[in-house]
Amino acid sequence: MSAVEFLLAGTLAAALPLLLAALGEMVVEKTGLLNLGLEGMMAVGAAIAFICVYHTGAHVLGFMAAAIVSAILAMVFAFLVILVKANQVAAGLAIGVLGLGLSALFGKTYESLTISGLPEYGLPLLSHIPLIGPTLLTQDIVVWLAVIGTIALWYVLNKTKLGLIITAVGENAEAARAIGYPVAVIRCAAVAFGGTMCGLAGAYASTVYTPLWADGMIAGRGWIALALVVFGTWQTGRVAFGALLFGILSLGELTAQAIGVAIPSQVLSSLPYLVTILMLVVISRHQFRASKRL
């Protein structure tokens, strides 16, 4: 397989955990909350999913278990922030640390064990297109479901009354409450959705993309997903594009080695995080200049 074929084949799979987690957090932030616990929720979801698939062989059960556990962890955040009125930053960081600790605890006896991944399916007719057919257009079922889900989420947020309500709650919670919308319930539902998406992201990372368990395997993806929400300016299409971009960057190390580029692997491994920092700097400067013009 050439370097180009490798990139085409692996980009969607590499981007998927980032995409799922970022879309979940985007919905949370649209309601006016900020959950910094993505890394921990993804990690605990990854651990639970791997354990379930390892013992049952059923990926569906693994994904369901990961979604439920991560949603429960997210609801702890919702309880602290919405009901107890705790600081969002402190609560999010606490949830993140808790999730990382639980993933290390649950997965300790499963270190370096492997499981079987999922088969790949090509789109009818399109999978026969030279180069992109057998690579980009041939993916596992989770990737195709994620593509459909992304389009559905865009439709809900931009074309339905529910999307307008979510936006209204985030932009002016008091006004939304005054006209009868249950702000606390909507925010709790959004946080639960965000936790569910993080659980699915972690499950994909540990049972499909890299079907093995190793402590720390999420490796900062939660923080990158958090940055992707800002990079995408809380718009579904832009967040998806950012996830694809980072999927390509995450494969940069292996691609460079395949074509013989003499760059230290540590530099290539750090590219996604360096780009994250640069993105945040550029976006912050743009917002600062816009505020000065106003």
Q: Report CA-CA distances (Å) from 123 to 17, 81, 262.
A: 21, 44, 37
Segments of the chain scoring below 50 in pLDDT: 290-291, 293-294
Whether 135 contacts 5, CB under 8 Å: yes
Question: In the chain, which residue ranges form alpha helices assigned H by DSSP?
Answer: 3-30, 38-56, 59-78, 88-107, 141-159, 161-171, 173-178, 183-204, 221-231, 236-250, 252-259, 265-269, 271-293
The residue behind tokens 């743009």 is: 286
Q: What is the tens place of the pLDDT at every residue in 81-100?
A: 999 999 999 999 999 999 99
Q: Which of 118, 117, 135, 119 is nearest to 127 (CA)?
A: 135
Length of the chain: 294
Cα angle value 143/95/244 (rounded, 5°):
25
Domains and CATH numbers, the chain: 3-293 (1.10.3470)
- pLDDT at res. 290: 47
Q: What is the tens place of the pLDDT at every residue in 229-239?
A: 988 889 999 99
Question: Hey, what are 197's tokens?
Answer: 């998406």
Cα angle value 273/144/55 (rounded, 5°):
80
pTM of the predicted model as reported, rounded to 2 decimal places? 0.90
Q: Are strands 138-140 and 120-122 parallel, antiparallel or unpaired?
A: antiparallel
